[in-house]
Structure formats: structure tokens, C-alpha cells
Amino acid sequence: MQATSVVYYFLLVSLCIDFSQNETSALLGRQRRRTRYRGLRRSSSAGHRSSRQPRMKLPAPIAVVPSIPLINIDDGVMGVFDSLIGLGGHESSYSVLPGKKGQCTANGMIMYDKAVWSPKPCITCLCSKGEVLCDTTMCHPLKCPNTIIPAGECCPVCSDTEAPPLPSGCSTSDTTVSCINAKLTQIPPISDPDLTSLDLTGNSITTIADEAFNGIPNLEWIDLSKNNITSPGIGPQAFKILKKLKRLYLDGNMLVHIPSELPSTLEEIKINDNHLHAIDEDGLQDLKNLVTLELEGNKLSEANVSPLAFYPLKSLSYLRLGRNKFRIIPQGLPATLEELYLENNQIEEVSEICFNHTRNINVIVLKHNKLEEHRIAPLAWINQENLESIDLSYNKLYHVPSYLPKSLLHLILIGNQIERIPGYVFGHMKPGLEYLYLSFNKLTDDGIDPVSFFGAYHSLRELFLDHNELKSVPFGIDEMRKLRFLRLNNNKIRTVPPERICRTHTSDDDVHENSDEEENEESRLEHVHLENNYINTRQLSPHAFSCIRSYCSVVLKPQKIK
């Protein structure tokens, strides 16, 4: 008997490993095709910039890595440690923003369609309609007889006396000058009409004279981040000569207002982590081509930002105002706005007129504020037709807010004090909610009933209920025929009834809105997390996880002992 058991377990291990490898390959293939997640954006490297920058992707809850099956010989129950384990940071463990079609996934980052970046020296990649295309960097011919290839660079640079003199620590190529951390105290005098990119990050520059860019009038990109530039130190005509400038980065300086006379060609401005304390109605004038505006980490509020401040921005789609002093949503948001980031402010309410004119808005991030559900007006966003993602994590919510947008696909409510999911709260949504994150709340069994998920049974793909106070598996999960990822770990669950996760048959009394075709459809569950509960694995029914493709995908270890 003992020999038979050993053979049985070894067969399970081998089947589990084979299945895990096949599942991993298939899932990785699907993951490469999925671009529904987005996170914080960051600039691409090595001077390869695009009009819209790639975004840093937070660790995704659906990331798939080759799984290592673990078998407990005593219990005969399998578990698996995979990339979904490890919630060291309550917030950073989740990828919480869906992306748009055409974006690419590369090296843990989400890239915009048509984004260009350099993942390693001498390689340039392009995101083209969801596909990553890479090629060896092409070097432009130089206009000097003698060239050298600096260490760590791909392309040669001029080395003869005819090259423009640059301070120590600077390097140059055909169209780019880079003086990163070169201990400069002023913008170096350069005369080269072919120059398009100037990187002066990490110096000690305090002023920008009116004539600073006279010799380089065709610049398209300037990075002056991490200097000591002050508002009085910028000449009123300093940027006026730059008729082709598209991107201007001034992060980490000492500016108290946005520079004046900025070129109308600008498509992206970053003035994060400065001392901005006001934007008047003329502060952004003539910037009709601006697509991206980042003003995080300043001293802005509804009291010092004019309701007409954003009026000139006829093309703005991406606005970051996090880490400021706003108590309400800023007024006068542009009609073209698609993404709004207001995390780490002091916002207490969302009024019904906040988004009246932003009919294209797709993403709203309000995490780390002071919102309560009764301070969100019923008409605030319910009629938005393009709003797919709302992040209300780390606020003061006690139940899932009602009157959510009809178009919502992605709802993030991590780290509140939510005790209840009201019945039918998702019932009006079309095509239906796909991602619901309720981790780190105070949900109990009484707070979830059979109609809490009504309206989302046919659409939910990911449901995170981990780190709550549930004592049993909630009703309705067996109805979710498209559910792929379920987290119930770190609760107080003691058992898993046979039909609570996997439905073996349908009764006439079940509450659901699935079609007959969906009822007969096989479950798509790929990962179930139940670790850190009080489950006695020896007493689990053999049918508890019968709908799951592989027991390798069920994480049951470790359990708490009380």
C-alpha cells in the first residue's frame, strides 16, 4: 500500500509539472497578447524618446512564471508557489490600470503604441500595434574626419578639434548632447543647428538666460531635471526661439510657477517635484498641442489653480496632479482628457459636475485621498461612456460605492475599510466589470450575499478578496464562468464546500444571469489562492476544485493554526 501511494504521488508530480509547463507556455502566449494593464509611466532610455513615454509596470497580479509544484505527502494536497505569492507591499503587488489597444509588454513595462526605447546598448525597439519590433541602432554619419566610440555607447562621436567644445563630462553625437551629472552651473554654450536633443540632468544649473539656446534653435527635447533652477532665473524669452521643441522636462527644480512664453509646439511638459504654488488663466496659454502635463509633487490646490487654467489645452489627454493639496477635483478639465491622476491629495468629495465635459476620460486615479462613499455624487460618473478604470484605493470607504460608471471594467478598492458589497451594485454595467480588487479591507460573510456580484457573473476575470475577514468562500463564485484568478488568501476560511468554487450542476434556484451557452462552458479558473486561512486540507472534498485545470494552480500552503 505504501509503495502504491509513493507511485501515485510521483505520477501526480510528473503530470503536474508537465501540465504546469504547458499551461505556462500557453498563458505566457496569452499574456503577450494582453495589454489591459498600465501603471506609472517613465521616460525611455539612452535618448530614444517617443511623443508618449513608456510606463513602468507594477508587478502584475496575473504574471505567470514556471510553477514549482509542492506536494505534502501527509495530506496528499498540492500547492504551488508562483509569482502571485509575496504581498510585502500592500500596494505595489498589484497592477491596477488597464491599457488601451495597441500597447506592448516588454521587460516588465507597458509601452504605448509607436513608443521607441532602447532596452540595451545598440538595440532600438518599437511598439507597433501590440508587437515589439527591435533592431540594431543605426548610427548617423558624422561631419568630422576623426571619430571615437565612447565606452558604453554604440555610435561614434567627433574627436577632432573641429567638434564644438564641451565641458568635461559631456558627450555628443550627430544630434544629441548629453551632460548628465557633469557638475555644470550653467547651460554650456553650444552652436549646432542640427542638434535636436539636450540632456542636462543632475547638474547645478540655477538660471536659463534669454540667449541660452540661440545656437541650438532646432531642439526637440530638453531635459533639465534635478538642477537648481528658480523661476526668477529663467529669462522671459529663454524658450521662445525653440520653434520645434516637443518635450521639456524640469522635474526636481525650484520653480514656483510654470515658465512663460513656452513654444506652442510642446507636446509634453514635466514639472514634477518643484514648488509650484499657482497656475493662473494665462499660465498654460498657447499650448494647444500639449498632450501630456505632469505637475506632481507641488503645492497646487483648487484655491490657487484657476478654473480657466486648462482651457488653452485643446489636445491634452494625460494629466498628473498627484502629491499636491487638492481637496476637490480641479475645475475646468479639458474635454480631450483621457487619464487623470490625483493620488496623494486631500480630496474629500467628487461632485456631479466634475466630469461633465470630459466625455473621453478613460482612467481616474484617486488613491490615497479622503473619500467616503456618501461624498461621491450619484451623477458624478455613472453616465461616462469611456471610463474603464477607477482607483479608489486607500480612502475611507465602508462599502463598495454605488452609481459606478456603466462602462467600468476595472475597479480598485484596495486598503479601505469596506465591510459590504451592496446587492446589484454592478448590475447596470455593460459590457460588465472584469477586474475587481478588494484586498486589505474588512469584508465579512454578512457583507457579501448572492446578489452582491449580480451583473458581473458573466464578465469578471479577476477577483481579489485576500486580506479580509471572511470565514467562508462567498456565494456566487461558481457562477463566474470567465473568472481566471481568485484570491481568498489571508482570511479566516475553514472549509471549501464542494460547489462553492466549482459548480458541477445548475439548479433552478441559482441566482445568475448567464446564458445557456455560458452555463455549459467549462470554468476558466487558472489560479486560486487560499493560503493563510484555517483550512484543514485533509477534510477537503475531492470535488472542491474539480473545475480547475490543474491542482498545481491551487495554493493551499501554508495554513494558520488556531
Query: How many Å apart are CA 58 and CA 449, to the nearest integer?
Result: 32
What's the confidence (pLDDT) of residue 54?
A: 38
Q: What's the pLDDT tens digit per position in 280-306? A: 999 999 999 999 999 999 999 999 999
β-pairing verdict for 157-158 and 147-148: antiparallel
Cell of 142: 558624422
Q: Which residue ranges of the chain lie beneath pLDDT 70?
A: 1-101, 137, 143-152, 158-164, 504-522, 562
**Which has the closest alpha carbon to 230: 207, 252, 260?**
207
CA angle 504, 466, 444 (to 5 degrees): 80
What's the confidence (pLDDT) of residue 133?
A: 84
Residue-range domain boundaries for the chain: 37-58+94-140, 146-275
Report whether the peptide linkage leading into residue 422 is cis, meaning its omega lies within 30 degrees of zero. Answer: no
What's the confidence (pLDDT) of residue 10?
A: 43
CA angle 40, 375, 448 (to 5 degrees): 80
Query: For residue 487, what are the β-bridge partners?
Result: 464, 529
| Residue 484: Cβ within 10 Å count | 19
H/E stretch holding 517? helix 516-519
* CATH of range 146-275; options 3.30.1330.10, 3.90.1150.10, 3.80.10.10, 2.60.40.10: 3.80.10.10
What's the confidence (pLDDT) of residue 100?
A: 56
Query: How many Å apart are CA 497 and CA 473, to the nearest integer?
Result: 8
What's the confidence (pLDDT) of residue 319?
A: 97
H/E stretch holding 10? helix 2-33
Cell of 440: 486589505
**Amino acid, res. 324:** N
Task: Report residue 163 CA to chain centroid gap.
Answer: 43
What's the confidence (pLDDT) of residue 52?
A: 40
What's the confidence (pLDDT) of residue 552?
A: 79
**Amino acid, res. 329:** I
Per-residue H/E/C for 145-186? CCEECCCCCCCCEECCCCCCCCCCCCEECCCEEECCCCCCCC
**Which has the closest alpha carbon to 431: 480, 490, 388?**
388
CA angle 505, 511, 515 (to 5 degrees): 70
